[in-house]
Amino acid sequence: MSTASLNIGFIGLGIMGTPMAGHLMKGGHKLAVHTHGKVPDEVAGAGAKVCASGREVAQASDIIIIMVPDTPDVGKVLFAEDGVAAGLAKGKLVIDMSSISPVETKEYAAKIEALGCDYLDAPVSGGDVGARNATLSIMCGGQPAVFERAKPVLELMGKNITLVGGTGDGQTCKVANQIVVALTINAVAEGLLFAARAGADPAKVRQALLGGLATSRILEVLGERMIKRTVEPGFRIALHQKDLNLALTAARQLGLALPATSNAQQLFSACVSHGGAAWDHSGMVRALEKLSNFEIGQKPG
């Protein structure tokens, strides 16, 4: 890992972005930051330069990292009148760690590369826990030389860092990840709900399952949230819906059938209809509870 101090820009200081930016500063790098709303005290107080725009961030940085919610948000950050592109100079590197459309990613990359700069799509998995612990899985798309340039910086935020392929392939990998995560949340929720309704202690059932083939990070972390009925994000249902929409849209274009993904999306939609857009995605269990007229914490009648 490189020990040289770099000038790094970071745009998007939400639940994930704030600890990620913190790890970069702890790694000895100088940060210029911009976000929607107030810059968190833990970032500003650690010495980050607070910028008024993406342009200002780009002017102050050699590497610019973006961590915002959706495809249009990345487009705005990059190409608004006072956006990142307006402050770029040849040789700079843009790393988009948001989870967005692979198609749009290729278009954004082409525009940035036309300015003489490098571009890497590098979406992440691991949630708020992974962001805080610097154990994120990072899925990259881009040129090998660009990946190698970015890797020492990415290593400060994650553990499993993979160059999946060319531009956009990191985003494709993230969409696949979100399909697997959603379906596993569904499976864990149904298993724990079944156990509780049948009269078993769901916490002890979860503990037993963690030692067998059914074990998963989702059973470990999100299963505990289901049992404790904790819905604070985490990763918001509205954002997971956005990712599944990318999957289902691409599936239609590719002629693929993804029936289980469609079902998971409907369960998320049911949560949203009950005011759950901002719940953690483990809150999918509440849609199943409504369908069953039984909650995991209840004693069976």
pLDDT digits (tens, 9 = 90+) for 76-133: 999 999 999 999 999 999 999 999 999 999 999 999 999 999 999 999 999 899 999 9
Instruction: Look at residue 49 and tell me whether its pLDDT is greater than 80.
Output: yes
pLDDT at 3 over 70: no
Q: Provide the pLDDT confidence category of residue 298 given band limits of 50, 70 and 90.
A: confident
pLDDT at 205: 98
pLDDT in the model for residue 57: 98
Q: Are 120 and 142 in contact (CB under 8 A)?
A: yes
pLDDT of 34 higher than 60: yes
Residue 263 CA, chain-centre distance (Å), reads: 21
Entry field: residues in the chain: 301
Task: Tell me the mean pLDDT in the region 133-157.
Answer: 98
Q: Residue 265 in 3-state DSSP?
A: helix
DSSP 78-121: HHSTTSGGGG--TT-EEEE-S---HHHHHHHHHHHHTTT-EEEE
pLDDT in tens, 179-220: 999 999 999 999 999 999 999 999 999 999 999 999 999 999
Q: Which residues are catalytic?
A: 174
Q: What is the pLDDT of residue 1?
A: 41
> Residue 232: pLDDT band by 50, 70, 90 thresholds?
very high
Classify strands 93-96 and 118-121 as parallel, antiparallel or unpaired.
parallel
% of the chain at pLDDT higher than 90: 96
The helix-helix angle for 259-273 and 284-292 (nearest 10°) equals 80
